[in-house]
Amino acid sequence: MSRPLVAILTGAGISTDSGIPDYRGPQGLWTRHPGYEKLVTIGYYMTDPEVRRRSWQMRRDTYALDPRPNAAHQAVADLDASGAVALRVITQNTDGLHQRAGLPARKVLELHGTSRSVACTGCGARTAAGDAIARVEAGEPDPACLECGGILKTATVMFGESLDAALLSEAAAVARAADVFFAVGTSLQVYPAAGLVALAADGGARLVIVNAEPTPYDDVADEVVREPIGAALPRLLRELAPA
């Protein structure tokens, strides 16, 4: 008997208990600091050195937090380890906390890239984010590529950039095939990631939304949970793999 396929779409809300602020919530970065959105918008980033300097400062501050997986990340990894289901995580986050919790990297689709690496926008060379952050700490406000002198950015998908087509296609296939689909800690306002919910619902998946604020898909969900994610998600996932 085949195991049910459980897909979990995660957004910024799953990582707030790890000390990483979300974007659009009442205390989110964009809510409190509307100008911050420029720091992760490719057009501004590539053309304005001051935006790049501020963006690197933001990255440095986030990196210094050294966020750790929380109970929700651990619950996802524990569900996978139980072997009770076939699990895939589709994440809008770039923090790598699912992997740090123990979930195999091959089971995590990082739609928006990773903040753990930096890439040159010129030659494409990649290095560890920690190396670039160390240069910022040492006094380089806008570190350039050491290979070609080009503009460096984190290996994330900024606003104005396209998602990786192959990765998005894989995520869509997972959503269509899912028996159960969770949307956790995401406003479901950013496309094409939010559209995966519709694909899952159209494919007959049981849809569960766990988010503090209403989403555009609440009306089509089988269950909407407003409890704190760190408490709600472990409980919901334990129901899929009872001891």
Active site residues: 112
Among 30-44, 129-143, 146-160, 187-201, which is the least confidently predicted range?
Answer: 30-44
Name the CATH code of domain 21-66+115-156 (choices 3.40.50.300, 3.10.580.10, 3.30.1600.10, 3.40.50.1100): 3.30.1600.10
Residue 24 has pLDDT above 70, yes or no: no
Same fold, 1-20+69-112+162-243 and 21-66+115-156: no
Q: What pLDDT, in 10s, does the model give residues 194-206? A: 899 999 999 999 9
Q: What are phi and psi of 95, to 5 degrees?
A: -85, -15
Report the share of the chain in percent with pLDDT over 90: 79
What pTM value is reported for the model? 0.89
Nearest to 95, CA basis, from 185, 36, 18: 18
Q: Which residue has the tokens 């306002």?
A: 189
Name the CATH code of domain 1-20+69-112+162-243 (choices 1.10.565.10, 3.90.550.10, 3.40.50.1220, 3.40.1050.10): 3.40.50.1220
Q: What is the mean pLDDT of the chain?
A: 91
Nearest to 58, CA basis, from 90, 9, 25, 23: 23
Among 17-26, 71-80, 195-204, 208-217, which is the least confidently predicted range?
Answer: 17-26
Q: What is the pLDDT of residue 29?
A: 59
Confidence of residue 190 (pLDDT cuts 50, 70, 90): confident
Best mean pLDDT range from 159-163, 169-173, 187-191, 239-243: 169-173
Residue count of the chain, please give it. 243
Q: What is the pLDDT of residue 26?
A: 56
Among 21-25, 147-151, 227-231, which is the least confidently predicted range?
Answer: 21-25
Q: What is the pLDDT of residue 72?
A: 97
d(CA 79, CA 71): 12
Q: What is the pLDDT of residue 152?
A: 97
Q: What pLDDT, in 10s, does the model give residues 140-162? A: 999 999 999 999 999 999 989 99
Q: What is the pLDDT of residue 79?
A: 97
**Cα Dmax for the chain:** 59
Residue 207 has pLDDT above 80, yes or no: yes
Angle (nearest 5°) at CA 139 between 138 and 141? 125
Residue spans per domain, the chain: 1-20+69-112+162-243, 21-66+115-156
Q: What is the pLDDT of residue 241?
A: 80
Among 31-35, 47-51, 219-223, 236-240, which is the least confidently predicted range?
Answer: 31-35
